[in-house]
A and B are shown apart, each in its own frame.
Chain A
Amino acid sequence: MAKEKESKTPMLDELETGPWPSFVKDLKQLAKRKPELEQALGQLEDSYQTNTNHWLGTVLNLDGYGGGVIARYSDVQDKFPLAAQFHTIRIIEPSGWLYNTAALRQLCDISEKHSAGILQFHGMTGDILMLGSNNEKTYTAGEELMENGWDIGGSGPALRTLACCVGPAYCEMSCFDTLGLTKFITDTYISELHRPELPYKYKFKISGCANDCANSIQRSDMPIMGTWRDKIQVNQKEVAKFIKENGENYVVDNVITRCPTKCIKLEKKKIKIDDSNCVKCMHCINVMHKALAPGKDKGVTILLGGKRTLKIGDTMSSVLVPFMKMETREDWDKLIQLVRRIWDFWGEHGLDHERVGEFIDRVGLGTFLDGIGVEPDPQMVKHPRSNPYIKFEEYTQPRIAGEPKESPNVVDKEVEGKEAAV
């Protein structure tokens, strides 16, 4: 090919300048030995010129799997034939996105051999993304990945790849083994992750404390967050040191007055906490992390129903289990059983494309709790209902055919027949 003076990607080139690392510069370099990437960048340039996207979605699955490949073909493949098929393979990431370089280098080698050589760390769900394989190479990439112990991530109406915070690997705030539980749920429900059989997607995100570094509460159907049920550990010596360094006013302005339940106070330069009223929000611990620490009787709070905008707007997850121990294999099994009950009830009654949060909105949380066998708890709501439109099962006689209508609040309407006669 004759060397052209004029760049083929003038608009993308503008993203090569500036202090932030440029993906354009990086990919253009790689495109010199990956002609399919050169064409994909050509197509991207076209999108920049015309504000028009050129990828269409299709379905492509590896043998035995019902998801995990995000298949794309180009609608301008006459112009960019080498990028006609440009699929992404989702790969399950190691818990906490922790890597050794041998693992990363192996991904690089597989990506170089079977794809355009682009990797993304990570997708919004948590997966490693390997971009730019055609139909045939998607299969060979998948086989080589699995041959080497990797596995394919989730897509479609299935359990999705999990994600979690760094947890006990280096964080002192983590109240349980986020990394271990993430692997355990993934491995236990690996078939549900690979073979879509739910009404719609189901995401877990797992955070070691209420700081929620995994963004679980509004990005997953089932957030699991670390908490404790005894007292915040207070080291008064460190409190004194903190006051000495920052002043008493700083503690009042940035710790005491920021407590959402006003359960913390400063008395004679000592921190006093009414732990029965503490909601484990983590703020005071975040600010004074040498002086304060989560309690010792640790566990998790399990929430349910979060999702992003599609269809009904965002939903925030809400409390399902206020506290549960999450230390032993039995604790983990209990969680697995709870998930199974939710999937059974939602799976049977949920509509196509209905996330579990939408399902709860439709059938009511009370009905849902009955369905999964969980007792209602005041911690599940901000406040009890403020409207009187209640269907009390205990007070309302069922009105099935042939039964007299005896509901006390209904006026006798036998006039119906007479009216019809008139």
Chain B
Amino acid sequence: MTTTIVKKKLAPRDNGAPDFKKMLHPLMAKNYGKWKYHEKVKPGIIKRVAESGDELYVIRAGSPRTMSVDTIRKICDIADKHCQGHLKFTSRCNIEFFVTKEKDIKPLIKDITTILGFPIGGTGHSVSNILHTQGWLHCNLPGTDAAGAVKALMDELYKEFINERMPQRVKISTSCCSINCGGQADIAINLQHHHPPKINHSNMQICELPKVTAICPVAAIRPINVEGKSSLEVVEEKCMYCGACHGQCPSMEIRDPKTDTLSIWVGGKSANTRGGPSFMKLATFGLPNNPPRWPEVSEAVGKILNAYKKGAKEYERIGEWIERIGWKKFFEVTGFEFTKYHIDTFRFARTTFNTSAQVRL
């Protein structure tokens, strides 16, 4: 790698994190740690009141996450014009703009919606922006796209983003392989592989074979010799198609454009509120990986949201609602079929069985 490069003087290293104090809106700097309460004004708008009596209106807009420099500059223009040059992104890739007077909200929203075309919402009991990763735009492992799948689904859920008419907040994520970078969510759409990796023996030597062997969670990979070259083989009965080896070595191709499908998971929650955080569980599977709009996914997500909206009590997240009504009823009201594949076979499977005589009849 080291060719004869004339070394220029390098920029300073290890600068660390940018100074967030320079990023704070003047009212945030003034009232830092001295906020008293907040109030919902309407969907997408929250009023923050400080002990000093200062008021900060936070206006939340949905963003596509992947943006051109042109769009970011337009966002900056709006923040310069209305927000004293400050803004914030949220953990769900929304953008928050700040104004200090109620009368300034309307002109700000007008600029956000006309110049950017971004919707206002994503607060409180709404369906917020969908978390996603890189997909076909930039990842080396995906079996499906991320940004496109999110765009298609958010088009369908647009009304739920700009309104707060769900029983509780709904967070959705998507993931393009079984690593599931999108994270736990109330509803998650994840890609599922259905075959062991296809091994490219002639290109295997580019990888560190012991590392590939060691990464397999079920010890299904072992060394072999193919035509005088070191390579690996997979014990197909053991392999559970997780794709861990593929991340380690591109010659262990786990994806198959003809057979990969999508499955939908429900009931994940990070907040420690009430029953605490929870992992999501399999709701339905075998949906086709169908770009550019994945209509089957939208339909399935719609079924879940409709049933949740109808059946849940206020403040119940999707997982809490299902826990209360039971999985039997969940499958009834959504129309999804419960199959043997819904029953866990991995570590701790028994802890997921109903080990009581408590059944809903």
- Chain A CB count within 10 A is highest, among B15, B38, B63, B68, for B68
Q: A218 contacts the other chain (Cβ, under 8 Å)? A: yes
Q: Are B72 and A70 in contact, CB atoms less than 8 angstroms apart?
A: no
Q: What does the 1/0 interface line of B45-71 toward A look like (CB < 8 Å)?
A: 000100000001010001111111111
* Interchain CB contact (< 8 A) of B67 among A15, A23, A101: A23
- Chain A CB count within 10 A is highest, among B36, B58, B71, B183, for B71
A352 to B75, CA, bound (A): 43
The 23 sampled A-B contact pairs (Cβ below 8 Å) are A15-B148, A21-B116, A29-B68, A48-B145, A51-B289, A98-B24, A98-B88, A103-B23, A104-B72, A117-B70, A118-B68, A122-B89, A142-B11, A149-B18, A170-B58, A183-B19, A210-B272, A211-B272, A254-B315, A290-B39, A308-B179, A310-B179, A351-B214
Residue numbers of A with Cβ under 8 A of B are 11-12, 14-15, 17-24, 26-27, 29-30, 40, 44, 47-48, 50-57, 63-65, 70, 72, 86, 88, 92-105, 107-109, 111-112, 117-124, 131, 142-147, 149-151, 162-163, 165-166, 168-172, 174, 177, 179-180, 182-183, 186-187, 190-191, 194, 210-219, 225, 253-254, 258-260, 279-283, 286-287, 289-290, 293, 308-314, 316, 351-353
Given A20-B155, A183-B16, A351-B214: 14 more A-B contacts, CB < 8 Å: A17-B155, A94-B22, A99-B23, A99-B86, A104-B75, A107-B72, A111-B69, A123-B133, A180-B20, A212-B271, A217-B270, A253-B314, A308-B181, A353-B248
Contacts of B289 in A (CB 8 A): 51
Q: Are A353 and B215 in contact, CB atoms less than 8 angstroms apart?
A: yes
Q: What does the 1/0 interface line of B126-165 toward A look like (CB < 8 Å)?
A: 0000010110111111111101100110110010010000
Q: Are A15 and B68 in contact, CB atoms less than 8 angstroms apart?
A: no
Q: B266 contacts the other chain (Cβ, under 8 Å)? A: no
Q: Which 5 A-B pairs have the closest CB atoms?
A: A18-B155, A51-B257, A168-B33, A210-B272, A146-B11
Q: Are A282 and B12 also in contact (CB < 8 A) when A100-B85, A101-B86 are?
A: no
Q: Are A26 and B69 in contact, CB atoms less than 8 angstroms apart?
A: no
* Interchain CB contact (< 8 A) of A314 among B85, B117, B148, B279: B279
Contacts of B24 in A (CB 8 A): 98, 169
A70 to B277, CA, bound (A): 31
- Chain A CB count within 10 A is highest, among B15, B85, B142, B158, for B15
A313 to B34, CA, bound (A): 41
Q: Are A53 and B68 also in contact (CB < 8 A) when A19-B155, A99-B86 are?
A: no
* Interchain CB contact (< 8 A) of A119 among B67, B182, B248: B67
* Interchain CB contact (< 8 A) of A64 among B13, B87, B147: B13
Q: Are A172 and B291 in contact, CB atoms less than 8 angstroms apart?
A: no
* Interchain CB contact (< 8 A) of B184 among A54, A218, A289: A218
Q: B241 contacts the other chain (Cβ, under 8 Å)? A: no
* Interchain CB contact (< 8 A) of B211 among A93, A101, A352: A352
Q: Are B73 and A108 in contact, CB atoms less than 8 angstroms apart?
A: yes
List the A residue with the shortest CB-CB distance to B15.
A151
Q: Are A166 and B273 also in contact (CB < 8 A) when A48-B145, A186-B16, A313-B347 are?
A: no
Q: B118 contacts the other chain (Cβ, under 8 Å)? A: yes
Count class of interface residues, chain B = 35 or more
Q: B178 contacts the other chain (Cβ, under 8 Å)? A: yes
Shortest Cβ gap from A68 to chain B (Å): 11
Q: Are A311 and B215 also in contact (CB < 8 A) when A47-B136, A51-B144, A211-B272 are?
A: yes
* Interchain CB contact (< 8 A) of A174 among B31, B33, B131, B211: B33
* Interchain CB contact (< 8 A) of A179 among B8, B20, B140, B215: B20
Q: B166 contacts the other chain (Cβ, under 8 Å)? A: no
Contacts of B10 in A (CB 8 A): 63-64, 143, 146
Q: Are A218 and B17 also in contact (CB < 8 A) when A99-B87, A166-B88, A281-B272 are?
A: no
Q: Are B255 and A53 in contact, CB atoms less than 8 angstroms apart?
A: yes
Shortest Cβ gap from A168 to chain B (Å): 4
A35 to B152, CA, bound (A): 26
8 Å CB interface, B246-269 against A: 247-248, 250, 255, 257-258, 260, 268
Q: Are A101 and B140 also in contact (CB < 8 A) when A29-B68, A283-B274 are?
A: no
Q: What does the 1/0 interface line of B203-219 toward A look like (CB < 8 Å)?
A: 00000000100110100
Q: Are A101 and B80 also in contact (CB < 8 A) when A120-B66, A309-B179 are?
A: yes
* Interchain CB contact (< 8 A) of A183 among B17, B143, B155, B184: B17
Q: Are B138 and A48 in contact, CB atoms less than 8 angstroms apart?
A: no
Shortest Cβ gap from A127 to chain B (Å): 11
